[in-house]
Amino acid sequence: MSIANDRTGSELNIRPLHPALGAEVSGVDLARPLAPETFKALHQAWMDYLVLVFPGQALSDAQQIAFARQFGALEVHHQDIIKSRAAPEIFRVSNVDDDGNLMTAAHPSVAQISLAQRWHTDSSYRPVPSMGSILHGIEVTREGGETWFSNMYKVHDALPAATRQQIEGRKARHDFAHLTTLAPIKPLTEAERQAMPPVWQPMLRRHPVTGRKSLFISPIYNDAIEGMAADDAVALVAELAELAGRDEFIYRHRWSADDIVMWDNRCTMHQVTPYDLAQRRVMHRATIIGDGPVIAG
Ligand code: OGA
Ligand code: MN
């Protein structure tokens, strides 16, 4: 598909990457404000493909933030160890600290970032979860460190009837503090706990733009399901995550430096594959605030 970009005179090229989701977009410079028609075309592509990959976009943090703000206001993370000192809207997905030093596996930030190796969707623990995330690969690994995305519309459509019955009309709890039970991360301060009390969210949701239904889980934050024993809830979330991880539903992104990858948190999950922590990996994320409470589906 090719759409004229009136402002720059260049062409927006959209190339699907996987039958389930993901498209590569070229012909646009994300460092510059988007012309209204380019924004419209990009937004439509985002709704159609769920994950957009923009290669060769060497954006500064300020440019990344400006690009992201065209889609909505940005989250500022509630933990100091994660956000960038220079730009609080930047969430640092990195094994390198703010001063450029490689951290060890035992560092609490690395332990926390490594939890992204399990399926999740960003900020699902907020009363209004994030709309989307925009991640800039600044220093990328040669091996491992791939980011995998799952199309949760398709996962929804593939739910076995008995499973659908189990979750229809139910809510799952999403608790940021659940992370502390999964890895030796830095203990949360009282302020951090109070900033993010647990929330209950429908397990089936309707996308506010496309109107399509998807499965809404976020396994690293889910610690309970309404009306279910804790063990059963954890087992059900694991079973759902396994379904979401089937080849037919996922696009695997292998990073090149200066890729920008943008995903819709309302209808996808993602996880990163393990990598050798002796390699530097520096990724900066801007996170778009959700456009409203989750709509039950
Ligand atoms: C994230 C995330 C995966 C990665 O940025 O939200 O989970 O590739 N990142 O590190
Ligand atoms: Mn994430």
Q: In what order do the strands lie in the sheet with 268-272?
A: 250-253, 147-151, 268-272
Which residue segments constitute the domains of the chain, with CATH numbers given? 2-296 (3.60.130.10)
Please indicate whether residue 135, judged by its CB atom, sits closer than 6 Å to ligand 1: yes
In SS3 terms, 149-200 reads as EEEHHHHHHCCCHHHHHHHCCCEEEECHHHHHHCCCCCCCCHHHHHHCCCEE
Closest ligand 1 atom number to CA of residue 147: 8
Closest ligand 1 atom number to CA of residue 145: 8
Q: What is the pLDDT of residue 80?
A: 87
Closest ligand 1 atom number to CA of residue 91: 5
CB 117 within 8 A of CB 272: yes
Q: Which helix (H) or strand (E) holds 52?
A: strand 51-54
* Distance, CA of 203 to CA of 156 (rounded, Å): 10
Q: What is the pLDDT of residue 7?
A: 46
- Digits of tens for pLDDT over the chain (297 positions)? 555 444 444 589 999 999 999 999 999 999 999 999 999 999 999 999 999 999 999 999 999 999 999 999 999 999 988 899 999 999 999 999 999 999 999 999 999 999 999 999 999 999 999 999 999 999 999 999 999 999 999 999 999 999 999 999 999 999 999 999 999 899 999 999 999 999 999 999 999 999 999 999 999 999 999 999 999 999 999 999 999 999 999 999 999 999 999 999 999 999 999 999 999 999 999 999 999 999 999
List the one residue out of 255, 243, 204 whose CA is nearest residue 56: 255
List the one residue out of 15, 9, 56, 33 whose CA is nearest residue 261: 56
Please indicate whether residue 93, judged by its CB atom, sits closer than 6 Å to ligand 1: yes
Please indicate whether residue 116, judged by its CB atom, sits closer than 6 Å to ligand 1: yes
Report pTM: 0.96
Please indicate whether residue 122, judged by its CB atom, sits closer than 6 Å to ligand 1: yes
Q: What is the pLDDT of residue 227?
A: 95
In this structure, which ligand is nearest to the CA of 274? 1
CB 110 within 8 A of CB 95: yes
Q: What is the pLDDT of residue 2?
A: 52
Q: Residue 225: CA atoms inside 13 Å, Cβ hemisphere, count?
A: 23
Please indicate whether residue 285, judged by its CB atom, sits closer than 6 Å to ligand 1: yes
In this structure, which ligand is nearest to the CA of 218? 2
Residue 89 amino acid letter: E
Measured in Å, residue 243 CA sits from the centre of ligand 2 at 19
Q: Residue 71: CA atoms inside 13 Å, Cβ hemisphere, count?
A: 27
